[in-house]
Amino acid sequence: MKFQCWRNIVGRIHSVGQVFISKEQLHIELTNYVIARGFNWKYLKNDSVRLTVRCYVDVCPWRLHASVVREGPEFAIKSLNTIHSCGCDIMSDGHPRTSKKWVVNVVKGKLVDKPTYRASEMMRDIRRDYGISIPYHQAWWGKEVAVSSLYGDFRTSYHMLNWYSERALQSNLGSVLSLEVDPETQRFQRFFICFQASAYGFEVGCRPMLFLDGTHIKQHRVQGVILAASALNGNNVLFTVAYSITDSETYDNWALLSDRRIAFLSDRGKGLKEAIPDIFPNEHHGYCFQHIMQNFNDQCARRYAAPFKKLLRKILQRIAYAVTEQEYQDAMMATELNSADAKEWVLRNDVDHWSHACFPGQRFASSNTQAICCITFFHSCSYSWALHLL
Ligand SMILES: [Zn+2]
């Protein structure tokens, strides 16, 4: 016996008179037992009232017979010969009884403690604990079935969103929760959540500035995008105001109620670029400088040699961080002197949305949405599992 935990498993089938709560439970224990001891069985009898199995090797005397107790569903072992003459304790790397169902039973307990348990970790643990190698697809499917049986099917949890929305509104008066489905296909389109407490916190405790960002939900094969609106509070700490789960990052409804003038900061994503002026025509929309710099690298600076590229990037930074008209003009002049192309690129790319000096609203010295990427990523993780827990 190579592995310690097998001793416990093998010990679970031990004697005549032993009772199991059902035939299915006996089957599970028997499967663990044969995997642990490294042999396979053959059925002699297998029906609703009896189970008789023997070792797969004909000459080996190992045999188990169990039958139903009175009306059931309990099953009891009536005869058992635990002696093998087939040399089954010499283990191989795989086992024919390590089915998807077996994997489910092995990992179910661990998935309760650790919902992010990955298929590759399952393979590693099974290898370590049982000495058995299972293929990745078997581990992956085993996990899928185990997750479904623990939390319900991921796709059908969307049906619970109506219920969740109603209950959340009842217990959080003044909140805005909106679930939208395609009127024809009834497919999920969008779920917007802004709790009253979050809106109030933004109103009284945060600067009038919203960071908008979206990220793809990658934790599960059910795809989608999570969009989050976050703010900075008086301590410069991020504060989530609202978020929305959508089928794609396009035009979205950022329905926030506020009397104040708000400055929006985003990555200049196509949907946001169109939606903000449309929904909030009087508000100012700043673009994340980190994304602007990335675009500049990709579209304009690529053709230059490294030292010159570095110089242009520095000048671009001067344009972004210029706080007076004079500083801005000086930086633009420096751009023109070095590269007419670069100046043209700057003018073409909405400089009044990302240079402090040109921006008509207040950015409170915030230039990028990098920190918000972390928040939206966090939401995407928690959302994947929230759906399971609904
Ligand atoms: Zn045997």
Q: Which residue has the higher pLDDT, 18 or 297?
A: 18
Phi, psi of 273 (to 5 degrees): -60, -35
Mark 249-284 as b/e (b = at least 16 C-beta within 10 Å): beebebebeeeeebbbbbbbbebbbebbeeebeebb
For the chain, the structural domain boundaries read 1-97, 98-151, 158-288+369-389, 290-353
The least confident of 145-159, 176-190, 230-244 is 145-159
What is the C-alpha separation between 228 and 230, in angstroms, rounded? 6
Count the Cβ atoms, other than its own, within 10 Å of residue 240.
20
Q: What is the pLDDT of residue 279?
A: 58
7 alpha carbon – ligand 1 mean position (Å): 18
At 16, the pLDDT band (50, 70, 90 cuts) reads: very high
Q: What is the pLDDT of residue 276?
A: 57
The arithmetic mean of pLDDT across residues 145-151, rounded, is 82
The least confident of 26-30, 37-41, 76-80, 116-120 is 37-41
222 alpha carbon – ligand 1 mean position (Å): 46
**Alpha-helical runs (H) found in 152-285:** 161-171, 196-205, 270-279
4 alpha carbon – ligand 1 mean position (Å): 21
What is the C-alpha separation between 66 and 79, in angstroms, rounded? 7
87 alpha carbon – ligand 1 mean position (Å): 7
Q: Are 169 and 177 in contact (CB under 8 A)?
A: yes
Q: What is the pLDDT of residue 210?
A: 74
What is the C-alpha separation between 164 and 248, in angstroms, rounded? 22
81 alpha carbon – ligand 1 mean position (Å): 10
Say whether 170 sits in a helix, a strand or coil: helix
Q: What does the pLDDT look like over 37-82, one tens digit per residue?
A: 778 889 999 999 999 999 988 888 999 999 999 887 899 999 999 8
Protein residues near ligand 1, an ion, with CB under 5 A: 39, 55, 60, 62, 84, 86, 88
Percent of the chain at pLDDT exceeding 90: 11
52 alpha carbon – ligand 1 mean position (Å): 15
Q: Which residue has the higher pLDDT, 386 or 163?
A: 163
Q: Are 212 and 285 in contact (CB under 8 A)?
A: no
The least confident of 13-27, 97-111, 264-278, 330-344 is 264-278
330 alpha carbon – ligand 1 mean position (Å): 88
Has residue 380 got a pLDDT over 80? no
Q: What is the pLDDT of residue 76?
A: 94
At 12, the pLDDT band (50, 70, 90 cuts) reads: confident
**Residues pairing with 287 in the sheet:** 266
The least confident of 27-31, 129-133, 212-216, 238-242 is 212-216
312 alpha carbon – ligand 1 mean position (Å): 76
Has residue 385 got a pLDDT over 60? no
What is the C-alpha separation between 120 and 118, in angstroms, rounded? 5
As a whole number, the mean pLDDT across the chain is 76
